[in-house]
Amino acid sequence: MPVRIQTGDFDAGAEIAALRRNDPKVGAVASFIGTCRDANDGDAVSTMTLEHYPGMTEKALEKIVAEAKSRWKVMEVLVVHRVGELKPADQIVLVVVTGAHRGEAFAACEFVMDYLKTKARSGRKNRRPRVALGRGAQLGRRGAGRWNPPKADVA
């Protein structure tokens, strides 16, 4: 199962080992673990609540995984995303990609994370002292837009 949404924590080492299955064809494993920070935009965060839309979230993540597999020569892609109330230092998301070569695995892993932040939106609320703030998905400096095909040069 390439996509899992769960409330409980995950064991990244066990997940990676299961995905590799001691397959001698795997020459690279790229992974990303996202964790809950204790601050956001300079304000202290005591908890973060991640909500999702059952069925819709899984379908969106499965599409992202399928897109990554169609763009790069990778063997397996796993996404484990937690929902519910999380505290600073809790693990939020795990993305693991296996492939024959590191470049393909790294690119696919980064692609999945970029798109996960934009296409598979979930509700996110950071609880700050005395203030509950609702937040949607945010793009980083580079964001998912960099993965779009280049626009044709029209002269």
CB 121 within 8 A of CB 136: yes
Q: What integer is the mean pLDDT of 83-90? A: 95
pLDDT at 57: 87
- pLDDT band at residue 141, thresholds of 50, 70 and 90? very low
pLDDT at residue 59 above 70?
yes
pLDDT at 134: 36
Helix-, strand-, coil-residue percentages of the chain, each rounded to 5: 30, 35, 35
pLDDT at 32: 98
Q: What's the whole-model pTM score?
A: 0.79
